[in-house]
A and B are shown apart, each in its own frame.
Chain A
């Protein structure tokens, strides 16, 4: 046998799972990101008393595909004075960083691209931060004033908020005692509570920091539409722009997954250790079946034949997913009625349903992102920095100390874990109030200083 061929075969044999999953991620994540955009537009429309996209497909369901197609065939413009190579490379960096980070995330006990890396969370955080390099380079290479201001803002924002976010992650790592993503979820199962309940301050800090890291409102200063037109991507158009856009939404999925893994119990269902609640495992299938029934109900009300067909197709897809999720239970029931089960499917329950719970939690997390975006005005740059350095980072540092002290109380003095956590959390909250008070005092002092400025026009 040809030795080269042999080596390739060996390589494929060793890494085929990773390769296939990698291809799946590259194929699926942009689509999911596109539908996240649609979801955001629909939610925004709902909160703003309008309908949102309705034209392409029933209820605009094919809008992301139409958008992607439009962006693909648009003229590819590179500004004359741009640094062409870097201009070309920057959106690719953004996108690749987000997709790579996704590789290490475990979407369920059975779904993970990379095998469990022992420094998994570190890898995810590190790689996803690289996405900022794409933003900074893109802003610089565009050779436009708007872009460079956006890029500078994003650099400052990254430095400030990555620190706070990192410290929040440390709190969760102290609780779990491992960096491995699976290890963290297992630790939450063992401790009997998601870490959001043990370290709420850390979760809050991570929530704020992750909004800032993904450049979402109210921290969307790098692309602040009303100030900088589009910030770092002002000069980008067509599919390069789409790459930035997809990178941003992929990044949202990444931070949502990290938060889910660290604080929301990963793929664990609610109350993972309470066995009389085991029926919760079958709720996903039940809910999806209900969605299917609702689709059939709606199908009768659709005005156009193709919409009726579409609704039926969605309903059938829902039933299929529900059947897959509930397969072990269906087999059990059949077994009771004397039908011989051809195979035992119990092992699929944690895998499939775990993925369901994981994605549900990530969706809720992203929903909160969107909700905040529709509600809140944007911070100003100096206010963003004040919030980061004067409130969030001190709070995160104190919280790490507090979690450490609580663990020490538990191990050295034999305190109940919950008691230790509640006590330290209350202390941290008091510290947070103190920080806010300091901040208010500083703002008041600054405003009284501003009030005494003289006017040059009077008299």
Chain B
């Protein structure tokens, strides 16, 4: 109603009927800002004319803490950044330090790392799908998603004793050998999972309300994504095939066949489709990996005390939410001189204002959901 009139008024720099802007303060306590994000919305009626994100409510100074911890001691801290994908964070950090030390994890460790990381990607996408659907008003998918995520967390628990902040990997490889029946558990989950994905697809993909709520909402084209540094599914949904698992293979990804799903429009619906397809591909990677886990040691030759040569290293991996990079500077002591983390959520959040402008209040929560941010990672 009144769209054209309103758009015309906004184009001329005014508001409809000359009314003042309404500033709506969303968060930090709000059901769908995914943690403690605070968004100041400038509204004209229901239409968003500008936003301002206020972050830092969960700031814990993770990067500073690193400077007073040894390399091994810091590893559990990275689990607390993106706490719905702790395994991926740990993988990035361990590989970065390994690069700095110039050691390599043994093949067996790398395969098990790949399996766990891909399971974590599925778990992370499941949390995203459930909360995103909940934001848009579908209250049931979240319970199905968490039912499947529970299976993955059970595998983690059996493997390393923890479910959420797992600290599953060690610098140089793994501490724990895969438990008896690990392959069987992963296989059972993966075989069952295809059917489960179909359930979400049945509930959402063809639903006209869902399509109406997600199509052409929060469009980001490839140029915008690159300019803003957006990565991960947000970037791929805009049509660019950029996935570090293929572009700069790490762990054991070069051994497996998988597709990188891309979208065309870069809207919320495409991001949804990309993530759903990514879950399917992760499942395929897991199935390929458990077929042949190489025998051998699980921990490479690293000392008890890690003293890398002075120097610096940047290593990035494809975390579920995008490119997760670690920049580590060593001064030759047992503690890093500086650790700088490039969190995907933080960088993707920068696209928020661009995506939201001109949309309605209801789209704001859809766009926060589709960016798949975790405030632990944004604020660090």
Contact = CB atoms under 8 A, between A and B. Distances in A.
Interface of A: 44, 47-50, 145-146, 149, 156, 217-218, 220-221, 224-229, 373-383, 385, 389, 443, 446-447, 450-451, 453, 455-459
**Main SS class of interface, A:** helix
B133 interface: yes
26 contacts: A48-B139, A49-B147, A146-B24, A149-B361, A217-B137, A218-B137, A221-B362, A226-B31, A226-B136, A227-B361, A228-B361, A373-B139, A377-B204, A377-B207, A378-B136, A378-B138, A379-B212, A381-B46, A381-B361, A382-B46, A382-B360, A383-B212, A455-B224, A457-B228, A458-B223, A459-B223
Contacts of B227: 455, 457-458
Interface in B115-153: 133-140, 143-144, 147
Interface residues of B, number: 45
A377 B215 contact: no
A417 to B, nearest CB: 35
A382 B45 CA distance: 12
Contacts of B360: 380-382
Given A224-B137, A375-B140, A382-B46, 7 more contacts: A48-B140, A48-B144, A50-B143, A220-B137, A374-B139, A377-B213, A447-B215
A149 B365 contact: no
Contact of A377 (B1, B3, B138, B147): B138
Contacts of B318: none
Interface in B222-245: 223-224, 226-228
Contacts of A218: 137, 209
B152 to A, nearest CB: 16
Query: Top 8 nearest A-B pairs by Cβ distance?
Result: A378-B137, A458-B223, A48-B143, A457-B227, A226-B32, A377-B138, A377-B137, A380-B362
Contacts of B216: 446-447, 450-451
A226 B265 CA distance: 26
Interface in B284-306: none
Given A47-B140, A378-B362, A385 B135 contact: no
B24 A145 contact: yes
Contacts of A226: 31-32, 134-137, 365
Contacts of A456: 354
Contacts of A149: 24, 46, 361
Nearest to B142: A48
B95 interface: no
Interface string B204-218: 100101101101100
Contact of A451 (B144, B209, B265): B265
Contacts, number: 117
A450 B138 CA distance: 26
Nearest to B131: A226
Contacts of B135: 226
A380 B211 CA distance: 11
B65 interface: no
A450 B1 CA distance: 17
A384 to B, nearest CB: 10
A237 B224 CA distance: 44
A187 B126 CA distance: 54
A380 B138 contact: no
Interface string B339-380: 000000000000000100000111111000000000000000
Contacts of A220: 137
Contacts of B30: 229
Nearest to B46: A381
Contact of B363 (A146, A377, A380): A380
Nearest to A447: B216
Contacts of A373: 139
Contacts of B144: 48-49
Nearest to A225: B31
A380 B213 contact: yes
A229 to B, nearest CB: 6
Interface string B11-26: 0000000000011110
Contact of A382 (B3, B25, B204, B224): B3
Contacts of A225: 31
A49 B147 CA distance: 8
